[in-house]
Structure 1
Amino acid sequence: MKYVLQLLLIIFLILAGYGFYLNSQIPKSGDKWIGFSVLLIAFGIMPLFIASRYKKSKMGEFLKNQGNKSTENSENQ
């Protein structure tokens, strides 16, 4: 999964670079490519990255521990 994310990021950065290149040659001609690459990064890579990072974590234990800490701090004051 790590290599897939890296490959997708490189592809989308190349698309954004192509859009900036088109903008430098003809104004407002590369805006579609820049916008497309930003959307794909935001809605493609970010969910995949978050899912791959939290796939093996134990969020239930973390949330239980956080709840216990907050009650302990309020009782001590």
Structure 2
Amino acid sequence: MQLPDRWFGRPFDNAHELTWAEQRPGRLLLELDNRQYLIFVGDVLVVDGPELCIGGFEELVFVWQGYGDSARHVETHDVGEVRFHPSR
């Protein structure tokens, strides 16, 4: 998964499972692996192609917990896109 400013994990090395998704007016919420949360605020643009790309948001809140790490981390982004690359 490629965040607006970096890869989450090693590039093309991590696989994530979509475990929950919900769309609300002005919100798109995604849960990955029962432990990572992507909250897109605003009208998002989703483009499905060789990779799934989500952009156009006003704000992205990414809540994650590392593997083997119980600490919770919260990041916010106000511009950019998130890309999900297919498994190789």
- Quickly name the TM-score band, shorter chain normalised: under 0.3
Provide TM-score, normalisation by structure 1.
0.19
Q: Which has the higher helix share?
A: 1
The structure in which a higher percent of residues are strand is 2
TM-score by length of 2: 0.18
